[in-house]
Amino acid sequence: MVLTVSLRDEIDEWLPELVETRRDFHRHPELGLEEVRTSGIVADRLRAIGFEDVRTGLAVTGVKAVLRGGRPGKTLLLRADMDALPIEEQNDVEYRSTVAGTMHACGHDGHTAILLSAARMLYARRDEIPGTIVFCFQPAEEGRGGARRMIEDGVLEDPAVDAAIGLHVMSDVPVGNAVAVDGPTLSGAHGFSVKVQGSGGHGAMPHKTVDALLIAAEIVTTLQTLVAREVNPQQAAVISIGTLHAGGTAANIIADSATLSGTVRWFDAEVGDYLAERIPALIEGIAASLRGSAEVEYRRGGRPTVNDPTVAATVREALAEVVGADKVLTGPPIMASEDFSEFTHRLPSTFFFVGSRDEASGIVAEHHHPRFDIDERCLPLGVEMMTRAALHWLESNAEN
Ligand SMILES: [Zn+2]
Ligand SMILES: [Zn+2]
C-alpha cells in the first residue's frame, strides 16, 4: 500500500506555504476566464514540483497537468476551480482582497491551494502510483462554463480519463467534518426571464387597461403550484422568483409592462425536463387568460451533480482515515449547483465537501456573502483527503 502514516507530517511541513498560497490567491482574486495571474502561478508551481506535462490555455485560463505513475492502472482526474466573484469583501483580515469589487467568496482560493499541495504529495509518490492522475485547474465555475470548456478543450482525453474527484469547502459544516453523498449531491439549475405586456392606463379606469403588474403577481404565486401540485412530493424542486419590476412612477397609473426572473432547482432529470416545459407554458397561459401576453426566455443551465456510489464509497474510506468515520457525513444533498456536474454526467465521479465553518472564531458567513471566509484548518485536511482519495481509488482499480 502506498499510504503512509507520515502523510500528515509531510503536509504539516509544507503548511506555511499552503496557507500563504491560499492567502495570496485571496488577496488577488480574478473573475471567470480572467484567472491569468492565478493560472500562471499554478503552472509555475507544477513545473517547479517537477511536472513535465503541464498544458496551459485550455478554456482560456485553465491548466492541465498529467502525472504518470510507475505502475499500470486507470486514469483519475482531480479538479479545482480558480475563479472569484464580483463581490466587495467586507472581512477585515490581513489577506483581504486587494481588488475592488472582486472577492474569493466561495473558497476557490482554498481549492486551488489544496490541489497544488496534493499534486506535490502525489508527485513524491509517483513511482508507487498505479495509474495516471490528471490535475485539472479550471476557470469560471461561477457561471461561464469553465468545466464544459475544459472538456471541449480535451481535459478528458490524452490520456482518456476514467473517473473524477473534486472537493468544495463548506461553510455549513464545522471544520473537521466532511461530506460525501451517494447519488445526487448538488441540484441542477435552470433560469428564466419573463416580459409581461399589458396595456397601461389610469388607476381609476382598470376596465380600459390590461394590468401587467397584476399578471406578474399571478405568475409569481401560481408558479409555486407547479412544485406543490405537479412535482412528486417525494422529489425535491424549488422555483424562486428573484426579481420583479412593474410600474414605478405613480400610485394611480396601471403598469403597462412588467419583468421578472427566477431560478429553478431539482435533482431528478425528469423533474428538470418537466419544469422546463411547464414553467413557460404556465406563464404564457396566465398572461393570455388575463388578456395580456408574456415572452419567456428559459435557460437550461447546469445538471445535477450526481456521485457514483462506488467512487463515493472509496472517497469516504479516505475521508475517514483523515477525520474519523464518525466525522464523515453522507447527506443531505444541497440545492446549490456546481459545474462539476459536467464531470459526474460523463464519468463515475464524486464531489465531496470539506467543513470550513468555525463558530468560535466567527467564520460562519454563507458562500457568496461579503464576509465569507474559511477556517484555514480545513486546508491541510483537504490536502490529505484529496491525496488519500486519489491513492485509494487508483489502488482499488489497479491492474494487479
Ligand atoms: Zn460559488
Ligand atoms: Zn464554489
pTM of full prediction above 0.75? yes
Proximal ligand: closest to the CA of 143? 1
Q: Find the 31 Cα to ligand 1 centroid distance in Å.
A: 12
At 339, list the grid cell: 459545474
Q: Find the 291 Cα to ligand 1 centroid distance in Å.
A: 40
Distance of alpha carbon 89 from the chain centroid:
20
Q: Find the 338 Cα to ligand 2 centroid distance in Å.
A: 7
Angle between helices 108-124 and 15-27 (to 10 degrees): 150
Class of domain 7-186+305-396: alpha beta
Q: Find the 39 Cα to ligand 2 centroid distance in Å.
A: 17
Contacts 24+ apart (CB under 8 A), 217-223: 218/286, 218/290, 219/194, 219/260, 219/282, 219/283, 219/286, 219/287, 219/294, 220/244, 220/260, 222/282, 222/286, 223/262, 223/279, 223/282, 223/283
Proximal ligand: closest to the CA of 103? 1
Q: How far apart are the first and last CA of the chain?
A: 12
Proximal ligand: closest to the CA of 111? 2
Q: Find the 140 Cα to ligand 1 centroid distance in Å.
A: 10
CB 287 within 8 A of CB 293: yes
At 48, list the grid cell: 517547479
From residue 168, alpha-carbon distances to 143, 258, 293, 379 in Å are 16, 38, 43, 11
Residue recorded with cell 401576453: 293
Q: Spell out, as residue ranges, where the chain has pLDDT lower than 50.
A: 1-2
Q: Please report how many Cα atoms fall inside a 13 Å half-sphere around the Cα of residue 300, on the Cβ side.
A: 10
Q: Find the 48 Cα to ligand 1 centroid distance in Å.
A: 30
Distance CA 347, CA 259 (A): 39
Proximal ligand: closest to the CA of 107? 2
Distance CA 33, CA 139 (A): 6
Q: Find the 303 Cα to ligand 1 centroid distance in Å.
A: 15
**Residues with catalytic roles:** 83, 141
Which residues, chain by chain, have CB under 5 Å from ion ligand 1?
106
The two most distant CA atoms of the chain are separated, in Å, by 83
From residue 227, alpha-carbon distances to 99, 217, 269, 335 in Å are 41, 17, 15, 14
Domain boundaries, the chain: 7-186+305-396, 188-300
pLDDT of res. 4: 52
pLDDT of res. 1: 47
Q: Which amino acid is at 157?
A: E
Which residues, chain by chain, have CB under 5 Å from ion ligand 2?
106
Q: 210 Cβ partners below 8 Å, 6+ apart?
A: 198, 199, 290, 291, 292
Q: Find the 251 Cα to ligand 1 centroid distance in Å.
A: 39
Q: Do the strands 183-186 and 305-307 form a parallel or antiparallel pair, or are they unpaired?
A: antiparallel
Q: 187 Cβ partners below 8 Å, 6+ apart?
A: 236, 238, 265, 266, 267, 304, 305, 333, 334, 335, 336, 337
Mean residue pLDDT of the chain comes to 96
C-beta neighbour count of 326 within 10 angstroms: 8
Distance CA 223, CA 71 (A): 56
Q: Does 188-300 carry CATH code 3.30.70.360?
A: yes
pLDDT of res. 400: 63
Peptide bond into 280 cis (omega under 30): no
At 174, list the grid cell: 464545522
